[in-house]
Structure 1
Amino acid sequence: MASHRKIKTRAGSARWEARWREPGPGGKTVDRKRNFSTEKEAKAHARKMAEEREARGVGDIGKHTVATFLRRWLDHLESRADCAPTTLAGYRRHAEAAIHHIGHVPLEKLAPLDLDRLYATLLAKGGRPYANGKPPKPLSRQSVLHIHRVAHTAFKQAVKWKLIGENPAANATPPSVPDRHTRGYTKAETTRVLEAASGDAVGYCALALLLTTGIRRSELLGLALDSLDLEAGTIAIRRTVTEVRGMPPVVREITKNKSSRRTLSIPPAVVTLLRAQKARVLEDAMAWGAEYHRDPMYLFPGLAGAPMDPMALTVKLRQFRRRAGVEDVQPVHGWRHSAASLLIADGTDVKTTQSRLGHSTPVITLKLYADKVDERDRAAGESLAGYLGPVPKAASDGA
């Protein structure tokens, strides 16, 4: 039965102690206690432990290690199919890096200090050894931050499942990550890359779509003939094609978020390019015959109409970039960044830009492209200053 009592420390000060019992290794019951500075805190904690540990019989440290819990949690996510395959693969990769170092720790005994030590170890030594036996490399601060976020999400679920009373990751301190400035293609670079791609009809069409729509690589490769309404001049984003390490391209009908499922207008010049690309797809399908993948018929297909390997597109666009002599821009995602920057610079409001890019909220758009918004804000201030007319001499004096 959980209880609380007043005790004296060795220093002679008064403290309040919460006491409770819970299942331990081998089915034995073990006594637990924790000290608090006030009776109210001790009483509340004792009541909480009575509900979570004694009444429900959870917290069996012989059954729930960090490793067993994390893997069961990942299996649970997979069975629910709520996560995109790429997200789940990332969760597994990050969880295994943590398991390599702290997987043996009983879940109930995991403390924030254990996680802080884990982060330091990952930064200094890395996670698991490679499959070929090579020792791991130290992880970047960004990678360790991802591991912390996975741990926080996982242990939050452990609290909901009543396996632990508190989330140890909530009080752990992940490494800080400096903001990285990701740039898009400038107008001059855009012209040079498009010129470098002019001899490749398929590649040029892909670049034109990326620039004028700002869609993601996965969304571009998920476009099919059923996504096009060339009479209306629109494309519908309704599926994605992503890569998961060691697997063929993964097609997913559910897009990244509700805002990702959208219909975008496209300019007449791009409609002309898409008509030609549609004709090429239909010609290839006719040449392949029954072997061609037709459900759906992808706009930018791989071999025999199958979904294109996302890395194949990245390699192609990287070649265009190199021919144009452009450096320090991501070959595919850089076009998305360019589209957003150019939209805002040309006066498009943030809400419209957010909707076109498929961000869930305008806050994300503002966070990513705040520099362009600031430029427009300064220009707006200068424009309004024109209404002041000549500034009176008295107003400009320092008096």
Structure 2
Amino acid sequence: MTTPRDTPASRRVRANGDGTVYQRKDSRWEAAGYVLAPGNTHKRVRVYGTTRKEALAKLTEKIANSNRGVPIPSAQGSVAAYLTYWLDAVAVHQLRENTHTRYTTVARLYLIPGLGRKKLAKLTAKDVRTWLNQLRTTCQCCARGLDSARDRPLCCAAEKCCSKRLSPLTLAYVHSVLKSALEHAVREEEIPRNVARNVRTGTPRPRRFEPLTAEEAREFLAAARGHRLHSLFELALHTGLRKGELLGLRWEDLDLDAGTAAIRRTLQRTNAGGLTTLPTKTRASERRIALPTRCIQSLKLHHEREREVAGTTWQHDAHVFTTVQGRPIDPTNLTRTFTTLLRNTGLRRIRFHDLRHSTATLLLEQGVELVVIKELLGHAHIDVTATVYAHVRLRLQRDAIDSLGHALDHP
């Protein structure tokens, strides 16, 4: 008599509703089962894997989503339906909330109006290229009907098109969101290939920024010297920390005796949670950096002042930089404070993030190696550092060549 243990793995009986798993003649494993489909119907799906475990895992994931009431997308369905499924059931669990919000906005404003009615299975590279070309040349004020919300028409309704077109960076971002969605459709075996990858949009030029010169940086530090957040501005300019990383710093992250700071988290405002502490942007962003001597001194003074003000309520795990009431600082409020400081001291207006660019630029001009700057800034790859600051390296090359020419002309 054959017992369940003696039954081959490909022939074991699975529980009702769990589907079936068997090995094909081509040695691949196939798993099949019924899942929820659009229209509150059920559809039999098939998934494949090189091993029984892989095929079973794919089927189990689809059945789990079905049990949660999430219908499986159909390749016969529209691009809009798949985008909605991908954003609500997949991307929401893989992306940060702010990133997911941006993806949803891109889908609502550009992807669904432009490609939403097309069948997912019939979408071609030509469709994507045609849509991107149209998006590149279309006035967004006209396309989105922004005039309808105005008391007096200013654009197409007044027959004076403002030609408000998408920037190359925005266009590349929209394209990348579509590629991510279709890539998941390929992984779920809904479509055979990602047609958006066959369309080239060109490499957009990096966003231009105007970092502070060494003289302007000295003026800025002098102007911030009497400010309550002087140590924050000084730390930003000396270390290139991101705004969220500065605001997420806690006293337990600082070792002022050793002169180091551990960057473990970032503070951001999200739609759902308000001010929220999140992990760093990437794994490379979680790092330990050395603190300059002047920053150590200013942080010690800031520490003593904060302990005096807080009294018995002071906590070792509290945020380093807080409001007067001792609460975390909203990133928007920090930007407003920074802009006010620039205006009151007569310095030209820059973004807070340009302090980070200023740090990297000044370090490059002092001859610091690119790999050291990459580690300090917390970039995931050195290519990012090299690309962003290519203009600085070009200027340094020119200076070096001029120096060599001067040495050859005048021994």
TM-score normalized by structure 1?
Answer: 0.72
CA distance in 1, matches of 2:224, 2:394: 33
Alignment of 1:162-241 (within 5 A): 162-174=189-201, 177-202=204-229, 204-241=230-267
| Counterpart residue number, 1:363 | 383
AA partner of residue 220 (structure 1): L
Q: Say which structure, 1 or 2, has more relative contact order (CA 8 Å, 6+ apart).
A: 1
TM-fit CA distance, 1:361: 1.9
CA distance in 2, matches of 1:184, 1:91: 30
Q: Cα distance 1:142–1:382, how it changes in 2: closer, same or farther (>3 A)?
A: closer
Q: Cα distance 1:179–1:262, how it changes in 2: closer, same or farther (>3 A)?
A: closer
Q: Cα distance 1:154–1:306, how it changes in 2: closer, same or farther (>3 A)?
A: farther
Partner SS state of residue 243, structure 1: strand
| Counterpart residue number, 1:300 | 321
Question: What is the aligned counterpart of 1:346 among 366, 387, 410?
Answer: 366
CA RMSD in angstroms, aligned pairs only: 3.4
| Counterpart residue number, 1:48 | none
Question: What is the aligned counterpart of 2:103 among 62, 80, 91?
Answer: 91
TM-fit CA distance, 1:351: 1.0
Identity of aligned residues (%): 29
Q: Cα distance 1:285–1:92, how it changes in 2: closer, same or farther (>3 A)?
A: farther
| Counterpart residue number, 1:323 | 344
1:313 aligns with 2:300: no
| Counterpart residue number, 1:115 | 128
TM-fit CA distance, 1:179: 4.1
Question: What is the aligned counterpart of 1:274 among 274, 281, 299?
Answer: 299
CA distance in 1, matches of 2:409, 2:174: 57
TM-fit CA distance, 1:248: 1.4
1:170-227 deviations in Å (ceiling 9; x for gaps): 223437634443221112221222233233131x211100111011111111111111
| Counterpart residue number, 1:35 | none
Confirm or deny: 8 A CA contact 2:248 2:266 kept in the other structure: yes
CA distance in 2, matches of 1:383, 1:175: 36
CA distance in 1, matches of 2:38, 2:223: 67
CA distance in 2, matches of 1:247, 1:298: 18
| Counterpart residue number, 1:32 | none
Alignment of 1:281-292 (within 5 A): 281-286=306-311, 289=313
CA distance in 1, matches of 2:181, 2:219: 46
AA partner of residue 341 (structure 1): T
CA distance in 1, matches of 2:235, 2:270: 24
* Runs of 5+ unmatched residues, structure 2: 1-36, 42-61, 63-71, 156-163
Q: Cα distance 1:198–1:86, how it changes in 2: closer, same or farther (>3 A)?
A: same
Confirm or deny: 8 A CA contact 2:262 2:287 kept in the other structure: yes
1:82-106 deviations in Å (ceiling 9; x for gaps): 4333222222222222123332322
| Counterpart residue number, 2:281 | 256
1:152 aligns with 2:179: yes
CA distance in 2, matches of 1:133, 1:117: 29
Partner SS state of residue 284, structure 2: helix
1:373 aligns with 2:373: no
CA distance in 2, matches of 1:349, 1:25: 56
Question: What is the aligned counterpart of 1:106 among 119, 132, 137?
Answer: 119
Partner SS state of residue 350, structure 2: coil
1:116-172 deviations in Å (ceiling 9; x for gaps): 343345442437678x95699653332222110110111011111111112121223
* Runs of 5+ unmatched residues, structure 1: 1-23, 28-55, 392-399
Confirm or deny: 8 A CA contact 2:87 2:104 kept in the other structure: yes
TM-fit CA distance, 1:328: 5.4
Partner SS state of residue 249, structure 1: strand
TM-score normalized by structure 2?
Answer: 0.70
Q: Cα distance 1:78–1:306, how it changes in 2: closer, same or farther (>3 A)?
A: farther
Confirm or deny: 8 A CA contact 2:38 2:73 kept in the other structure: no
Q: Cα distance 1:218–1:59, how it changes in 2: closer, same or farther (>3 A)?
A: closer
| Counterpart residue number, 1:20 | none
CA distance in 2, matches of 1:256, 1:301: 22
CA distance in 2, matches of 1:116, 1:374: 34
CA distance in 2, matches of 1:59, 1:224: 45
Q: Cα distance 1:129–1:83, how it changes in 2: closer, same or farther (>3 A)?
A: farther
Deviates more, 1:370-379 or 1:270-279: 370-379
CA distance in 2, matches of 1:282, 1:74: 46
Q: Cα distance 1:245–1:326, how it changes in 2: closer, same or farther (>3 A)?
A: farther
